[in-house]
Amino acid sequence: MNAPFYDKLQSLLQMEKEPFTELYSLLQYQEIKRNDFVLKEGEICKFIGLVDNGSLRTFYINENAEEVNFLFHFNQKIEDIVFTDYESFLLSTPSKLNIQALENCSFYLIPHQDWQNLCNKSSYWQMFATKMTEKAYLSAKKRVEDLLYYSPENRYIKLLQSNPQIFQKISQRHLASYLGITPQSLSRIRKRISINYL
């Protein structure tokens, strides 16, 4: 029993003790090394993951064989902690995503089957699943707004404000592709901004 993680997760999920303990009992602990993969393109994602320690990234490989980062994960806010290819998980289709450890990591997995059983068990858990899907939807929509309305420079500034911790964990190379730009452009944006804010 990992008390800090238990407490953290419970406070993030804001659940009563009883259902939370039931959920927690399903979790399977795992550790992996830096650069190891939790999920590779083509596999079916059979888990929902929860970061305990370390950081991971979810990325695609685009048609030019470039890696494009979609999300980063670490033990922080609820939307950061969870990692999965929700599409593959829901539909049992081969994933187009990769999930890889950026440093040595420990995390917990909820296996697909256990999750299914839980959801079929009671409307409480079904509602819980719906809420999770809603959260996933809302964060994807937020990402669309970001990409549609803001220039790369403004996206960088917004990220700096909304999630400054991310800059301590994630290399600029990876952040650049998350922002949809090249590392060179990110470097120049940083320079531009630091000059303007001197």
Partner DNA sequence: CGTACCATTGATCAGGTTCAATGCTCGTGG
Partner DNA sequence: CCACGAGCATTGAACCTGATCAATGGTACG
By CB under 7 A, residue 152 contacts DNA:
yes
The CB-of-84 to its own copies minimum distance in angstroms stands at 12
By CB under 7 A, residue 33 contacts DNA:
no
Interaction with its own copies in 1-30: which residues (CB under 8 A)?
A: none
3-state secondary structure of 35: coil
Judged on CB neighbours under 10 Å (0-12, 13-18, 19+), 111 is middle
Dihedral angle of Cα 171, 174, 98, 26, to the nearest 10 degrees = 50
CA distance 47 to 4: 22
By CB under 8 A, residue 124 contacts its own copies:
no
By CB under 7 A, residue 190 contacts DNA:
yes
Cβ(84)–Cβ(44) below 8 Å? no
If binding means CB under 8 A, how many residues of this protein chain bind its own copies?
Answer: 27
Question: Of 62 and 92, which has the nearer Cβ to DNA?
Answer: 62
Interaction with DNA in 80-109: which residues (CB under 7 A)?
A: none
If binding means CB under 7 A, how many residues of this protein chain bind DNA?
Answer: 18
